[in-house]
């Protein structure tokens, strides 16, 4: 199914304000976890069963000697054919028909976590060590089925995140990539035909996050 | 801001310098992005490649404290390459004025300097006037003594090579920035500047901004949509606090604080009221006596009479030259000369430069009242690191106050928009709104004064009627007081008003005691139309995003000030595609004009555009500051170079240098070889009082860190993530090292200079292991005009912990 909704993450407009990361925690009532600074702005260090979204900070030097600093607001891609579901035999993981959201139910506690994680090209699912339940981004299912946009999109000040009907988002994405190519020849949308959360990057996806375009 | 947040979208070129807007004013990037969508260029100039730089079309690095050199080079570029907007410069600025003969500049010093007092006599910088008292002008700009030629001469020394050697910016990058920004010097282009504490917190802070103001005048960018000089204020209502005269040198509405040499109201009004002989100059400040008298009436009501100078004698009057700014106050406190202190909505133990001195100063107090929404390092200073509670006599009181969403009232943003906010939730426990605390305090103070005390008149005569029927603080009453009202039935400008009617706008205020107004610039905010600050209409008649019926802005709802400079002499917009103002059929259409007069080509009634300047023209030559009419590069008090390449004058000759035991500073000392600077992060607000208790924000930004280049890390054997110690002669702070490509060593001639940077949002109290404030390191030396500390450029060492 290719209808439903999509989220566009246009990294060329992202300022790493992390409103999305905090907005996600707030709406989903997830706790702030204990962190330490390990030599980067990036924190928490990874996704967890209590963290559905992490802004990745990646830096280095361009050929011209100038630095770059790439920001990648990582979350579940809500694949059209979700790899995580391969390990799901009953309804532990469901794909909502109307929205396209891929949802982990409490029954995921019965899944083989390792297999589920391996099935995900983007290394997204995480497990609660106590309850064994798996968790990840829900596309703010409770919001989008009640006429609201996802909390992360809502909190984005620059328009780097957009939410809407999939065909329209694809359209916006295509036009934006064309526009960006004038300045950034390497600009692409990452796997737009496979995922609902479409990232636009202006350079090699690996310069953003190691799993940006898949493992 | 001369303009406002939304207006950023109208710009063709946005220079972000002295600011990291993306991190510290995240919402501003919404409008910056819109400008970029329309093809605007974004330039980021910063010692460190920041979140703003990451989105910029052009990034240039400069060493902290070298902004005037960088911008002085731009002035030279603009003049040498004829990039300035000639019609604008000739007609709307004082470029054609001729300073007096005794004006001079030699080897870093302007004429009129007295080395004993370290002060200038600014009469040496006066403008020549003709027999009628009107400034002499040469509109060909060729007279070697005219401002334009003096400017050209002054900045002729700022060659790309010299600038690059001072700033450490590669010449290519300088040129790229100069070319791109100077391209806005045409009729149809607008360039704007977004700056913040990266410019102000220097011993040349005001002159940093002056340099940019000169550039904006040369390029014709003042008063136009998408232009202006835009200060990004550091707190949501800091604009409101200065509007209301919270600083020591001003009364509400930026009226000058009286001094003891001005014994009478007449003397005061004479001193604050500039004169002009030029009929073309509106000289709006000639109205200031109307505002000062109306303010006195607001303070003392019926007790302020013409016989008693409207209570002028009751105003406190510091001696001339006495300066009660932050650094001086804490110096006196450290000396034990201050007994009590209200730390109201602030955290000096972490926010004050040379915070070790601040913390020691707090220990000299008899009492300290900490008014805040959380306990903080100030209220609990006595149990902080290195303190022995047994030896500290200071009695500390904590008054919990309501947070912004727990009270009703106005909030003024950087763009001067004053927006009314409703109360969303009740304050917890016994926390009260600040207004309530002040009201209760004042009632008690008056009770005490009734029993006796020195000079009780100002307190007992004060009109203090801001409570409702239940005796609770009423924000509406205060807002109406600020707007002002008539004190008797009058007819003004053919309009009749009854006693008690609100004053429609400050044009109706009077100097005879018939009007009361708590703040003339807020006059119109709450008038017969109601609470204009609460308006929420989204009409946008100009299409420029002025939204004139959304809230209200001072002055008189003018969304872009100096807007008469956006039109040509006939009142037609320089840029018809962005018509901010237009003279149509004998009327101005668009934004609220800077005064009703016809455009300048009307030889009878036309006025110059810069109505707040006595001469009516934008001041390229600015004789009003402590440290000179043109900005000049001086090194920071602590700097990495043995000499100032521009002149024999090493540091700003007018800075005040404290000389107590805790007022240490060092330049070119091998123990502290690296430049240090401070900044903020998105997640924490100011010293972090509000945000360090918030788990999601602490999770994202948990600990004090220092950013340094890979080269410096190698030099010091530091790996990314290592614990390190950053120190200055004043103190030391433990940090986590972020080794980054975003800091690069500066190549300055033969010299390589390293710089590091730290956030100042942490403090020992919370979170655990969060670390300390970077202000333990910063020097307590201030800009001579504002006394803002030089927290952005000082010398440090960094070692592995």
Q: Which residues of A touch B736 (CB under 8 A)?
A: 36-39
Measure CB to CB from residue B29 to each of A15, A34, A41 and give the nearest one: A15
What whole-number distance in Å separates Cα of residue A129 and Cα of residue B672? 48
Q: Which two tokens stand for residue B153?
A: 């001469």
Does A41 contact B738 at a Cβ distance shorter than 8 Å?
yes
Segment A77-94 mean pLDDT: 94
Residues in chain B: 801
pLDDT of residue B321: 86
Does the distance separating the beta carbons of A159 and B30 come in below 8 Å?
yes
Nearest residue in chain B measured CA to CA from A33: B699
Look at B739 and A39 and tell me if their CB atoms are within 8 Å: yes
Residues 743-772 of B with CB under 8 A from A: 744, 769
Residue length of chain A? 215
Portion 135-154 of A in contact with B at CB < 8 A: none
CB-based contacts of B394, cutoff 8 Å, min separation 6: B362, B363, B364, B365, B366, B367, B368, B382
Which residue from B119, B63, B65, B210 is spatially nearest to B635, judged by alpha carbons?
Answer: B65
User: Does residue A86 surpass a pLDDT of 80?
Assistant: yes
A31 touches B at CB < 8 Å? yes
pLDDT tens digits along B580-600: 999 999 999 999 999 999 999
User: In this model, does residue B487 exceed pLDDT 60?
Assistant: yes
- Give the whole-angstrom CA distance, residue B432 versus residue B441: 12
Rounded Cα–Cα distance for residues B106 and B113 (Å): 11
pLDDT given for residue B235 in this prediction: 86
- Mean pLDDT confidence for B202-230: 98
Cross-chain CB nearest to B741 (options A35, A40, A59): A59
> Is B54 in Cβ contact with A15 (below 8 Å)?
yes
Which residues, 6+ apart, have CB-to-CB distance to B313 below 8 Å?
A: none
> Cβ–Cβ of B702/A16 closer than 8 Å?
no
Question: Which chain B positions have a beta carbon within 8 Å of A59's beta carbon?
Answer: 740-742
Question: Contact, B608 vs B600, CB < 8 A?
Answer: yes
CA–CA gap between residue A151 and residue B44 (Å, rounded): 30
Closest chain A CA to residue B30: A158
With cut-offs at 50, 70 and 90, classify the pLDDT of residue B200.
Answer: very high
Q: What is the DSSP string of B386-416?
A: T--GGG---EEEEEEB--GGGS-EEEE-TT-
Beta bridge partners of residue A48, listed in sequence order: A51
Q: Across the interface, which of A35, A38, A61 has its CB nearest the CB of B699?
A: A35
Q: Rounded to whole angstroms, what are the CA distances from B378 to B347, B520, B762?
A: 5, 35, 13
| The predicted structure's pLDDT at residue A89 | 86
CA dist A212 and A74 (Å) reads 8
Q: With 0-12 CB in 10 A as exposed, 13-18 as middle and 19+ as buried, what is B430?
A: exposed
Q: Is A40 near chain B, with CB under 8 Å?
A: yes
Q: Which residues contact B576 (CB under 8 A, 6 or more apart)?
A: none
Q: Which residues of B touch A23 (CB under 8 A)?
A: none
**pLDDT above 90 as % of chain B:** 99
| Nearest-neighbour CA in chain B from A42: distance (Å) | 7
pLDDT tier for residue A125 given thresholds of 50, 70 and 90:
very high
CB-nearest partner of A36 from B695, B697, B703: B703
Tell me what the mean pLDDT of segment B680-685 comes to: 97
Structure tokens belonging to residue B417: 């928009």
- Report chain B's mean pLDDT, rounded to a whole number: 97
Q: Which residue of B has its CA nearest to A56?
A: B700
Looking at chain A, the whole-number percentage of residues with pLDDT higher than 70 is: 99
Closest-CA residue in chain B for A179?
Answer: B37
The nearest alpha carbon in chain A to B21 belongs to A15
CB contact under 8 A, A69 and B49: yes
**Residue B462 CB neighbours (<10 A):** 18
Cβ contact, residue pair A37, B52, below 8 Å: no
Structural contact between residues B372 and B689, judged by C-beta atoms closer than 8 angstroms? yes
The Cα–Cα gap between B603 and B610 comes to 17
Say yes or no for a CB contact (<8 Å) between B742 and A69: yes
Q: Which residue of A has its CA nearest to B36?
A: A13
What band does A2 get if pLDDT is binned at 50, 70 and 90? Answer: low
Of A22, A60, A70, the CB nearest to B700: A22
Each residue of B597-630: pLDDT tens digit? 999 999 999 999 999 999 999 999 999 999 999 9
- Which of B700, B721, B736 comes nearest A18 by C-beta? B700
How far is Cα A105 from Cα A108, in angstroms, rounded to an integer? Answer: 6
Residue among B51, B695, B700 minimizing CB distance to A15: B51
The pLDDT tens digits of the residues spanning B699-756 come to 999 999 999 999 999 999 999 999 999 999 999 999 999 999 999 999 999 999 999 9
Distance (Å, whole) CA B533 – CA B540: 17
Q: Which of B582, B614, B610 is nearest to B595 (CA)?
A: B610
From chain A, the residues in CB contact with B704 under 8 A are 37
Instruction: Answer whether B656's CB lies under 8 Å from B341's CB.
Output: no
CA distance B21 to chain A (A): 10
Name the closest residue on chain B to residue A23, using Cα atoms: B696
- Residue A139: name the closest of A150, A131, A147 by CA: A150
Task: Say whether residue A45 is in contact with chain B using an 8 A CB cutoff.
Answer: no
Element of type H or E holding B181: helix B171-182
Inter-chain contact A69–B681, Cβ cutoff 8 Å?
no
3 state DSSP class of B192: strand
Distances B151 to A79, B75, B76, B78, B120 between C-alpha atoms, Å: 63, 9, 9, 11, 19
Residue of chain B whose alpha carbon sits nearest to that of A37: B703
Contacts of B464 (CB under 8 A, 6+ apart): B439, B442, B443, B446
CB A5 within 8 A of CB A166: yes
Cα of B191 vs its chain's centroid, Å: 20
CB A197 within 8 A of CB A6: yes
Residues from chain A contacting residue B54 (CB–CB below 8 Å): 15-16, 68-71
d(CA B276, CA A201): 59
Residue B529 above 70 pLDDT? Answer: yes
Give the span between the Cα atoms of B537 and B453, in whole angstroms: 51
Taking the Cβ of residue B398 and every Cβ of chain A, the question of whether any pair is shorter than 8 Å is answered with no
The complex scores an ipTM of: 0.98
* Chain B residue nearest residue A183, CA to CA: B57
Q: How confident is the model at residue B307 (pLDDT cuts 50, 70, 90)?
A: very high
Q: Does A25 touch chain B (CB under 8 A)?
A: yes
Q: Tell me if B30 and A70 make a contact (CB, 8 A cut-off).
A: no
Chain A partners of B721 at a C-beta cutoff of 8 Å? 37-39
C-beta atoms of A37 and B702 within 8 A = yes
Residue B646 has pLDDT above 90, yes or no: yes
Residues with Cβ within 8 Å of B99's Cβ and at least 6 positions away in sequence, in order, are B125, B126, B127, B128, B145, B147, B150, B621, B623, B629
Is the pLDDT at B687 greater than 60? The verdict is: yes
Residue-wise over A83-96: b if at least 16 C-beta within 10 A, else e? bbbebbeeebbbbb
Point out which residues pair with B370 in neighbouring strands.
Answer: B343, B398
Asked whether the beta carbons of residue B49 and residue A33 sit closer than 8 angstroms, the reply is no
Interface check B683 vs A, CB under 8 A: yes
> Is residue B483 classed as helix, strand or coil in its secondary structure?
helix
| Chain A contact for B84 (CB, 8 A cutoff) | no
Give the end-to-end CA distance of chain A in Å, rounded to a whole number: 24
For residue A26, which residues of chain B lie inside 8 Å, CB to CB?
A: 696
How many Å is the maximal CA-CA distance in chain B? 79
Measured from the Cβ of residue B424, the count of other Cβ atoms closer than 10 Å reads 11
Determine the Cα–Cα distance for residues B419 and B417; give it in Å rounded to an integer.
Answer: 6
Residue B191 DSSP SS3: strand
Question: What are the φ and ψ backbone dihedral angles of B341, each rounded to 5 degrees?
Answer: -150, 125
* Residues B93/B237, Cβ–Cβ less than 8 Å: no
End-to-end Cα, chain B, rounded Å: 43
Rounded to whole angstroms, the maximal C-alpha distance in chain A is 54
Task: Give the position of tokens 């004993």.
Answer: B116
C-alpha to C-alpha distance for B119 and B111, rounded to whole angstroms: 11
Half-sphere exposure of A1 (CA within 13 A, CB side): 15
């Amino acid at each position: 199914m290719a209808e439903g909704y999509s989220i566009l993450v246009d990294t060329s407009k992202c300022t790493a304000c992390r409103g999305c990361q905090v907005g996600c925690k707030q709406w989903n009532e997830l706790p702030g976890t204990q962190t330490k600074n390990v030599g980067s702005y990036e924190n928490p260090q990874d996704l967890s069963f209590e963290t559905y979204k992490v802004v990745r900070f990646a830096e280095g030097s361009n050929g011209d000697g100038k630095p770059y600093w790439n920001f990648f607001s990582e979350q579940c891609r809500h694949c059209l054919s979700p790899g995580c579901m391969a390990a799901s035999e009953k309804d532990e993981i469901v794909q909502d028909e109307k929205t396209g959201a891929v949802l982990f139910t409490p029954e995921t506690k019965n899944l083989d976590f390792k297999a589920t994680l391996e099935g995900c090209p983007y290394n997204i699912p995480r497990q609660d060590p106590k309850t064994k339940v798996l968790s990840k981004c829900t596309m703010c299912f409770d919001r989008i089925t009640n006429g609201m946009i996802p909390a992360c999109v809502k909190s984005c000040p620059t328009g780097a995140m957009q939410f809407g009907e999939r065909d329209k988002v694809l359209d916006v994405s295509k036009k934006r990539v064309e526009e960006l190519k004038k300045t950034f020849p390497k600009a692409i949308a990452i796997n737009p035909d496979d995922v609902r959360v479409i990232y636009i990057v202006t350079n090699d996806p690996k310069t953003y996050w190691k799993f940006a375009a898949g493992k | 801001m001369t303009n406002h947040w939304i207006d950023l979208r109208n710009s063709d070129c946005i220079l972000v310098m002295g600011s990291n807007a993306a991190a510290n004013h995240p919402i501003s990037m919404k409008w910056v992005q819109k400008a970029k969508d329309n093809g605007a260029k974004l330039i980021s100039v910063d010692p460190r490649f920041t979140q703003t730089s990451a989105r910029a079309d052009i990034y240039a690095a400069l060493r902290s404290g070298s902004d005037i050199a960088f911008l002085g080079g731009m002035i030279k570029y603009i003049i040498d390459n004829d990039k300035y907007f000639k019609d604008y410069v000739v007609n709307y600025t004082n470029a054609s004025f001729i300073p007096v003969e005794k004006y001079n500049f030699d080897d870093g010093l302007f004429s009129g300097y007295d080395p004993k007092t370290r002060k200038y006599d600014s009469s040496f910088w006066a403008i020549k006037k003709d027999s009628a008292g009107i400034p002499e002008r040469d509109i060909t700009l060729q007279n070697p003594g005219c401002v334009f030629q003096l400017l050209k001469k002054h900045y002729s020394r700022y060659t790309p090579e010299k600038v690059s050697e001072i700033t450490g910016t590669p010449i290519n990058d300088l040129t790229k920035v100069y070319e791109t920004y100077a391209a806005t010097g045409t009729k149809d282009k607008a360039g704007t500047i977004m700056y913040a504490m990266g410019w102000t917190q220097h011993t040349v802070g005001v002159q940093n901004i002056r340099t940019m103001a000169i550039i904006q005048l040369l390029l014709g960018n003042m008063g136009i949509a998408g232009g202006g000089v835009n200060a990004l204020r550091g707190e949501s209502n800091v604009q409101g606090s200065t509007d209301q005269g919270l600083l020591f040198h001003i009364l509400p509405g930026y009226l000058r604080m009286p001094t003891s040499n001005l014994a009478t109201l007449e003397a005061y009004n004479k001193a604050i009221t500039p004169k002009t002989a030029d009929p073309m100059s509106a000289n709006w400040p000639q109205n200031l006596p109307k505002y000062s008298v109306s303010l006195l009436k607001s303070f003392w009501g019926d007790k302020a009479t013409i016989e008693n100078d409207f209570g002028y004698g009751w105003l406190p009057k510091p001696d001339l030259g006495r300066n009660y700014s932050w650094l001086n106050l804490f110096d006196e406190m450290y000396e034990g000369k201050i007994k009590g202190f209200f730390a109201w909505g602030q955290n000096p133990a972490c926010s004050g430069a040379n915070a070790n001195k601040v913390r020691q100063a707090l220990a000299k107090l008899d009492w300290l009242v900490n008014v805040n929404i959380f306990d903080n390092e100030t209220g609990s200073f006595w149990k902080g690191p290195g303190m022995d509670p047994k030896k500290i006599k200071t009695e500390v009181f904590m008054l919990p106050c309501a947070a912004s969403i727990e009270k009703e009232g106005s909030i003024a943003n950087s763009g001067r928009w004053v927006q009314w906010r409703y109360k969303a939730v009740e304050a917890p426990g016994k926390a009260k709104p600040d207004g309530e605390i002040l009201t209760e305090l004042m009632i008690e103070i008056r009770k005490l004064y009734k029993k006796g005390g020195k000079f009780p008149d100002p307190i007992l005569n004060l009109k203090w009627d801001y409570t409702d029927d239940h005796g609770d603080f009423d924000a509406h009453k205060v807002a109406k007081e600020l707007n002002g009202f008539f004190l008797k039935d009058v007819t003004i400008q053919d309009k009749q008003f009854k006693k008690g009617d609100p004053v429609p706008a400050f044009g109706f205020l009077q100097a005879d005691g018939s009007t009361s107004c708590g703040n003339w610039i807020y006059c119109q905010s709450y008038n017969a139309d109601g609470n204009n600050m609460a308006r929420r209409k989204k009409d946008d008649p100009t299409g420029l995003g002025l939204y004139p019926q959304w809230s209200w802005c001072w002055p008189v709802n003018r969304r872009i000030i100096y807007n008469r400079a956006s039109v040509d002499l006939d009142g037609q917009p320089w840029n018809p595609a962005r018509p901010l103002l237009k003279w149509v059929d004998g009327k101005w259409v668009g934004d609220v004009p800077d005064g009703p007069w016809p455009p300048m080509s009307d030889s009878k009634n036309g006025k110059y555009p810069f109505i707040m300047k006595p001469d009516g023209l934008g001041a390229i030559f600015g004789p009003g500051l402590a440290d000179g009419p043109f900005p000049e590069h001086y090194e920071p008090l602590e700097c990495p170079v043995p000499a100032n390449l521009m002149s024999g004058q090493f540091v700003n000759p007018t800075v005040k240098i404290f000389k107590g035991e805790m007022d240490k500073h060092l330049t070119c000392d091998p123990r502290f070889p690296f430049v240090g600077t401070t900044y903020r992060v998105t997640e924490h607000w100011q010293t972090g009082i509000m945000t360090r208790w918030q788990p999601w924000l602490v999770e994202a930004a948990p600990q004090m860190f220092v950013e340094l280049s890979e080269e410096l890390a190698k030099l010091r054997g530091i790996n990314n993530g290592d614990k390190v110690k950053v120190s200055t002669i004043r103190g030391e702070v433990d940090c986590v090292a972020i080794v980054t490509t975003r800091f690069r060593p500066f190549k300055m001639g033969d010299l390589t200079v390293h710089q590091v940077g730290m956030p100042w949002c942490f403090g020992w109290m919370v979170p655990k292991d969060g670390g300390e404030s970077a202000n333990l390191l910063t020097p307590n030396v201030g800009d001579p005009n504002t006394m803002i500390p030089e927290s952005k450029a000082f010398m440090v060492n960094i070692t592995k912990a």
